Structure 1
Amino acid sequence: MQYRRLGANGPVVSRVAFGNSLTAGNQLADDAALACVRAALDAGITTFDTADAYAEGRAEELLGRALAGVDRDSVVVCTKVGRGGGPGPGALSRERIAASLDASLRRLGTGHIDLYQAHLYDDSTPLEETMRAFADAVRAGKVRCVGVSEWAADEIERAAVLARELGVPLVSNQPQYNLLWRVIEAEVLPACAALGIGQMVWSPLAGGVLTGKYRPGQRPPAGSRAVAARGGDVSIQRWNFLSDEVLSAVARAGDLATEAGLTLPQLALAWTLRDEPVTTAVIGASTPTQITRNLTALTTPVDPALLHQVDEALTPVTVHDPALTLSRMLRAKSRNPTLT
């Protein structure tokens, strides 16, 4: 395993993090979810990502159970606030953050969270209120570092100014980023680089599409994420990753990987971790073997020329439009509910 500091002021994290957004407490039996965390630890993964909204808190509970007895200083526990909680105050209001933070600490069975992230931007709450609530959490010792997830560049820049004034700088952004989805490249990455904010990206395998298991003209395999009834189908289909055009391009990329003696997941993960802006990539898994198999991307040499070839093969279906940053998409949809 390799390790890097997250942003200019964040914790040292493993280059691959383990996340349980669609698995723990949802698509996996508890024993399987716990086994995946143990496999991640055995592989040298020190960084674990979850959120209060995942499986309505069950994901945090299972992560806490899995890490019980592990030296607390040896792991980086990351969670998020801002999508769960039901009706009431704004998702990132002071009241909601305070209540959610205490609940997350209880479910995780820990006295502090290493990285607390704002899950999407909250238009209904003044940004100053959100950042002050984060600063108070840091000063109370409940949180070590703060970050955001799926915010647009202008939102990140405004938050960074306030955070710096409050003495608790933003250290990270958690966007979707992979060979197919590159909307952060035009605006978010340059803004974060200038501010010393690191990238902790999610979905480096595009929800499994970049494993090659989905084939053009064929139904998704039984039991795969694309047909799961508990979130996986929505997360993949939202981005139109299952069109025949996309899957045909992915198949061409898979052929290039095979010719080079690599698997497509190895190649896709190596591409995501190829350069400085991405500090760590969050992977999920349904079995321990998926973790160990994919982690070979860190130790397998990949020819830069091959990465360029794969890039070219996927160019016709790659999405770059910064307007499709999730925060912007949801804001636009709130103004016009007819948008998809």
Structure 2
Amino acid sequence: MTAFDSTKRHLGRGLFAHPLGVNCGAIGVSEDPQQTEVSDGHFLDGLRRAVELGATLFDTADCYGAGHAERMLGRLLREHPDQRLLTSSKVGRLRGSAPHAYAGRHIHHQFQQTLENLYTEELDLYTLDSWDFGPEDRYLGGAIEQMCALRDVGAVRAIGMRGPYVPYGATLAERDACAARFLHLFRLIRPNIVWTRFNALTPVITLEGEDLFAFTARYGAGVILAAPLAHGLLTGRAPRSTMLPPGSTVRPRGMTSLTSEKAARVTAGLQTLRVHFGNEPGTLTRLALLSCLQKADHCTAVVGFTSRAQLEESFGCLSGPALTTAELEVIEKAYAQVRDGIEQQSRRQMPQPVRS
């Protein structure tokens, strides 16, 4: 069998990254200062282990722990001054005292704070993390100008933008509207890299008749896939925090909006893969990660973690054989059935119009 190609992938603008990177979104989320201090050492150990496992791309944002994740990553970077680690951060969620997250020179101010947090003089990737540019896109032009200026002076090597995403149960019209909005912004921003939530459960969105991978390849843009394991759902060991109780609509930021009933449907659907590929520890994780990474050679995925063991399992998935074409067909068929079931259930649960 052919071994999985774990050599670095070119994302554009001279940025080469290991196929699997680390997302720092879980760092610093505790509201208990004492617990946060304990978690800091825990997460820093995880980041160190990721470097040992070969990770080169570390993805964060100014809104992750209100800058705390950036500061934690900065500690790691100071420990490896001679190692080429790629830093990726985002802007567009924190407004502070500005009238809007993209208003005036707010991007510049946030960028300077990000550099200070990371203890670095430049960023490899800086991403516009929101499609909200104010009423009638009032701040879009200024945001593009600031991002391009940062790239032109060498403070940022590549510009990113968030990719298209719709919730489960989205109608065809909602998907088309999402695609149209993304295409409009993509043509104006002209990003070097698209950062997007993507995994086997992600509703399919078509861009100019193509999927995201063919579209970005045609335009020469790299892709970073976030949440490839659907926050644990695709590993068969979903944490409770990713599931909502029946009737609940409130969820933690960044977590999937699956109810417990839909999560149970995912679990049942994964049984097909267990029967076909076996039930050894890490099997479902391997299938989820490789099915994403084998979509295209210009994409990488970033995984979150709450333990070193999770990182070791994820990176260990890349040391074996690649998935064959026949295996990918089996996997995609199983995932498609799960997606269809979730979407049908979501639509049935949507409020129906009142007939007069």
The TM-score bracket by the shorter chain reads 0.7 to 0.9
Q: Provide the rounded CA distance (Å) in 2 between the counterparts of 1:176 and 1:240.
A: 19
Q: What residue number does 1:308 align with?
A: 329
Cα separation, partners in 2 of 1:226 and 1:39, compared to 1, 3 Å = farther
Compared CA separation, residues 153 and 71, structure 1 to 2 (3 A): farther
Offset from partner CA, 1:74-123 (integer Å, 9 cap, x none): 11100000011345332223421011101101111100111000002123
- Does the 8 A contact of 1:266 with 1:295 survive in 2? no
Letter of the 2:324 partner, please give it: D
In the alignment, the residues of structure 1 paired with residue 316 and residue 261 of structure 2 have an alpha-carbon distance, to the nearest angstrom, of 26
Q: CA deviation at 1:261?
A: 8.5
Q: 2:242, 2:256 within 8 Å by CA — same for their partners in 1?
A: no
Mapped to 2, the partners of 1:95 and 1:45 lie a distance apart of 33
Q: Map 1:1-340; keep pairs closer than 5 Å.
A: 1-7=6-12, 9-21=13-25, 23-26=26-29, 29-71=39-81, 74-86=84-96, 88-124=98-134, 125-151=138-164, 153-163=179-189, 170-184=191-205, 186=207, 189=212, 190-214=214-238, 226=243, 233=252, 235-240=254-259, 243=262, 244-258=264-278, 263-276=283-296, 279-301=299-321, 302-318=323-339
Distance 2:311 2:184 in 1: 37
3-state SS of the aligned residue for 2:159?
strand
Alpha-carbon distance in 1 for matches of 2:340, 2:40: 36
Take 2:151 and 2:340, find their aligned partners in 1: how far apart are those partners?
36
Mark the structure with the bigger radius of gyration.
Answer: 2
CA separation in 1, counterparts of 2:286 and 2:218?
Answer: 30
SS of 1:57's equivalent in the other structure is: helix
- Which amino acid is the alignment partner of residue 180 of structure 1? L
Contact 2:24–2:304 (8 Å) recurs in 1? yes
CA distance in 2, matches of 1:89, 1:104: 20
For structure 1, which segment, 186-195 or 82-91, has the greater mean C-alpha deviation from structure 2 after superposition? Answer: 186-195
Which residue does 1:331 correspond to in 2? none
Root mean square deviation of aligned Cα: 2.8
Distance 1:26 1:242, change over 3 A: farther
Native 8 Å contact 2:126 2:160 kept in 1 = yes
Structure 2 unaligned runs (5+)?
1-5, 31-35, 165-177, 245-249, 342-356
Tell me, in whole angstroms, the C-alpha distance in 2 between the residues paired with 1:250 and 1:10. 38
How far residue 315 of structure 1 moved from its aligned partner, in angstroms, is 1.6
AA in 1 matched with 2:27: A
Assess if the C-alpha contact under 8 Å between 1:47 and 1:77 holds in 2.
yes
Give the distance between the partners of 2:182 and 2:131, measured in 1 at CA. Answer: 9
The 3 A distance-change label for structure 1 pair 297 and 32 is same
Aligned-partner Cα distance in 1 for 2:285–2:126? 29
Mean Cα displacement is larger for which, 233-242 or 30-39? 233-242
Check the 8 A contact 1:178/1:203 in 2, yes or no: yes
Q: Deviations over 1:257-282 (max 9, x none)?
A: 32688610011101111121651001
Take 1:293 and 1:191, find their aligned partners in 2: how far apart are those partners?
A: 31
- Name the amino acid aligned to 1:238: S
Q: Per-residue CA shift, 1:150-171, capped at 9, x if unaligned?
A: 35554554445445xxxxx521
- What is the Cα deviation at residue 72 of structure 1? 5.6
Shift of residue 310 of structure 1? 2.1
CA spacing shift, 1:271–1:114, aligned 2, 3 Å: same
Gap regions ≥5 residues in structure 1 = 164-168, 215-219, 321-340
Q: Distance in 2 between matches of 1:104 and 1:13?
A: 21
4+ residue runs over 6 A deviation: none
Counterpart CA distance in 2 for 1:122 and 1:10 is 29
Deviations 1:189-237 (A, max 9, x none): 14423211111010000010011014xxxxx65xx6548xxx9755434
Q: Distance in 2 between matches of 1:319 and 1:143?
A: 40
* Equivalent-residue separation in structure 1 for 2:23 and 2:281 (angstroms): 28
Aligned partners of 1:150 and 1:174 also within 8 Å: yes
Q: What secondary structure does 2:192 align onto?
A: strand
Asked if 2 retains the 8 angstrom alpha-carbon contact of 1:46 and 1:76, the reply is yes
- Measured in 1, the distance between the counterparts of 2:289 and 2:160 equals 23
Which moved further from structure 2: 152-161 or 26-35? 152-161
The question of whether the paired residues in 2 share the 8 Å contact of 1:257 and 1:267 is answered with no
